[in-house]
Structure formats: C-alpha cells, structure tokens
Amino acid sequence: MEKLLADNDNGDALKVNVKDIIIGGNKKVIISGPCAIESYDSLFNIAKELKKMNVDILRGGAFKPRTSPYSFQGLQEEGLKIIRAVGDEVNIPVITEIMDTRDIEKAMQYTDMIQIGSRNMYNYSLLKEVGRTKMPVLLKRGMSATIKEWIYAAEYIMAEGNLNVVLCERGIRTFETYTRNTLDLNAVTVVKQKYRLPIIVDPSHGTGFRELVPKMSLAAICAGADGLEIESHINPEKAISDARQTISMDTLEKIIHDVKKFNMYFS
C-alpha cells in the first residue's frame, strides 16, 4: 500500500470540514469550551458565550483520561448526550474525546468531530477504527511522540480511508518543571512545510497555566497553525478539571481578536 503522507509529496494541502467549518483554509479555527462536561446548564451557558464571539467548535470531555482511577472520570455517555443537545440548541458543531473502540459508533451519533487524546496517539486499534468512519478526527500528539511517529499515527487513520485528520500539538514532556509541558512550535512549522495535514495548537495543555495562554496562542498562529483549541470556562477557578490552565471568556475574546488581527496583517 502506498503512503498518503510522504515527505514533500506535492499533494494538495488537505482541508477538513466539520459541518460548515473548514479547518486548513484561510480562516483560523477556534475550538473552545471546558475540559470536562459538568452539567447541561453549565455547558449551555459556556456555549452561548462562545457562540457570541464566533467560536467555531465547542469542546467538552465526556470520557476523561485521568492519571488516577480515583479522579473524576467524566459523565461518560450522559456527557455525550449533553454536548449533542447543547450543540444543537446553540447551533455550534461539537468535538469530544473517544478512548475506546467500542464507543465509536455511539460517538458518531453524538459528536461532529472525534478527538483522540495524547494518551491514545499510539492506540492503533482506535486509530484504525476511526479510520473506518468518515468522521473528522483531531489527533493530539503523544506526550513524547516524535513528529514522525505522530505523522504515522495519522497515517493509520488515513490508510483505512478517512482523510479527515487534523493534528493538534499540545506540548511535549521534558525536564522543565515550571510549565506542565513544553509547547513545541517548531513542530507546527515542520508539519506545515513537510506534510499535507492541517494542524492546530492547544496552548492550554501546552503550558499548563492560564497566564501563558494568550501569548502562546498568538505565537502558535505565527508558527503557522490553522487554529487553536483552548480550555475556557465562565468560572475558570471552579472548573472541575484543569482549572489552572483554563481561561475566562474575556481572555478568550481578547485572543480571538488578536488572532483575527494577526491574520489580517500577516496572511
């Protein structure tokens, strides 16, 4: 079988449609929302705010991969139903993470884009299974994956026939302990220059601290990212998970404004 993603393959850059949103086109795409879906009301209130500022896609985790089995694991299928209902009510496409091959069929009913998290980048069974659907997939980089391994992970999906893959750089693990991860923006430029896939950046996990998110968001766009996935909440300090890296609605609005301004002058 022939490779779809060979270095400098001269194929056209791929674009991925999530309903009427295009990832990989001229407009930088903003995906935002809480780390975990907490309740219908909470997600609905966040989604309304996001919609007002033209966020493109609503994120929210139903299945949460937590380091400890005793931490909150997400609302599971109940969470999937909530994000679908909120997305429909507010009229915004939704994305949520799937971790188990057995949940993919269910996910197809409830979400518009499937997220494969950092911990599952090497979960080849899962990659192949989403490759057999036509669902848009957001493929996060493994926390210590090389760029090459990450591209091959995308290739696992594409080799099954699903070309709707968007990469997401979310920071890698290094010796530095000041930040949660080291955001690798070199990787964004490498991917844009060498491969045909759209790529976005998650500055929330990529830094671990909300005060670093605005600067790193803009830096990511400079590096050539096609968009951003940012954890936001109406009440960031009260977020059930990842509170320390979750930004407020006001901060998000400022970031969106800056990204738009940047795109106006630099593309």
- In the complex with a second copy, which residue's Cβ is closer, 131 or 136? 131
DSSP assignments along 112-168, one per residue: SEEEEPGGGTT-HHHHHHHHTS---EEEEPPTT--HHHHHHHHHHHHTTT---EEEE
| Three-state secondary structure call for residue 72 | coil
CA distances (Å), origin 31, targets 37, 134, 243: 15, 20, 17
- In the complex with a second copy, which residue's Cβ is closer, 180 or 233? 180
**Residues 108, 113, 118, 121, Cα dihedral to 10°:** 60
- In the complex with a second copy, which residue's Cβ is closer, 41 or 211? 211
| Three-state secondary structure call for residue 175 | coil
CA distance 125 to 82: 27
Closest distance to a second copy from the beta carbon of 5 (Å): 10
- In the complex with a second copy, which residue's Cβ is closer, 96 or 120? 120
- In the complex with a second copy, which residue's Cβ is closer, 215 or 238? 215
- In the complex with a second copy, which residue's Cβ is closer, 50 or 201? 201
CA distance 255 to 219: 11
What the block records as the tokens of 246 is 């979750």
CA distance 45 to 151: 37
| Three-state secondary structure call for residue 211 | helix
Return residues touching a second copy (CB under 8 A): 1, 3, 65-70, 99-102, 119-120, 122-125, 128, 143-144, 146-149, 152, 155-156, 159, 172-179, 182-190, 193, 206-207, 211-212, 215-216, 218-224, 258, 261-262, 265-266
Closest distance to a second copy from the beta carbon of 164 (Å): 17
